[in-house]
Amino acid sequence: MAELKGKILAGKVLIKPSEAEDCTPSGIIIPDTAKEKPQQGTVIMVGAGKADEPMEVEVGDKVLFGKFAGQELCIEDEDYLLISQSDLLFISK
């Protein structure tokens, strides 16, 4: 992964989504058309906190988010998700 240059706006978090599962625990291979959108990922960049909402996440945290939360981005052939901190459901440090 290339070093990202730039700044995230207040209250926003840039996440690298986890890869979708290729097969089930029982060994059944899941085709690309049937794969579910990942709902977890790793925090890559964090914006400044807002006056009424300080940032609770840090770079490197694993997070869970809603299925349709955030804006999908493709930067240098890598997929990312830009999401508001308030849309995060769980933070694992």
Q: Tell me the three-class secondary structure of 37-69, residue by residue.
A: CCCEEEEEEECCCECCECCCCCCCCEEEECCCC
Q: Is the pLDDT of residue 10 over 90?
A: no
In whole numbers, what is the pLDDT of the chain averaged over residues?
83
**Hey, where are the domains in the chain?**
38-93
Largest CA distance in the chain: 49
Residues 6+ apart with CB under 8 A from 70: 15, 81, 82, 83, 84, 87
91, 63 Cβ separation under 8 angstroms: yes
| Structure confidence at residue 66 (pLDDT) | 85
Supply the pLDDT for residue 38.
66
Q: Please give the pLDDT value at position 44.
A: 92
38-93 sits in which CATH class? mainly beta
How confident is the model over 12-41, as pLDDT tens digits? 999 998 876 666 677 777 666 666 666 889
How long, in residues, is the chain?
93
